[in-house]
Amino acid sequence: MVYQERVERATSGHGDMHDVSRDVARIVGRSHITTGIVNVHVVGSTAAVGTIEFEPGLQRDLPEILDKLMPAGRHYGHEQAWHDGNAHSHLQATTLGPSLSVPVGGGSPILGTWQQIILLECDVKPRQREIVVTVTGE
């Protein structure tokens, strides 16, 4: 069995983090799949999907450390060709990854109490993001 739905999210720009756990749990519920896997995937190359404890401290810490490790800059090859100021957005998004697969048991995603599914905007401007949620199982 397979069930697929899309979720739209408007982000405010670089470093904006959204908790999408409730959206994912509702879609798993509507799928009537009790055991399996749910895949959460963001379309596009400058946003990422992952898990984190969703609280204000880490909402600030994760974008900050990513900017320290992969800072904005004009020296990137991507900038020299495109001049859109978001080479670091691409690098951060690729490193975190665009998708996540979480097990489903008892009709719900299996996550820790302090483990939320997040969308992280890495691009330098507000974006309308599309997340595809696919549930497989029985």
Select from 1, 12, 26, 29 the one that contacts its own copies (CB under 8 A).
Answer: 1
| Residue 10 binds to its own copies (criterion: CB under 8 A) | no
| Residue 76 binds to its own copies (criterion: CB under 8 A) | yes
Binding mask 80-109 for its own copies (x = CB under 8 A): xxx----x--xx--xxxxxxxxxxxx----
Copy the structure tokens of residue 115.
Answer: 């483990």
Compute the distance between CA of residue 121 and CA of residue 119 in angstroms, rounded to an integer: 7
Copy the structure tokens of residue 48.
Answer: 């990422």
| Residue 15 binds to its own copies (criterion: CB under 8 A) | no
How far CA 129 is from CA of 17, 35, 56, in Å, comes to 12, 28, 22
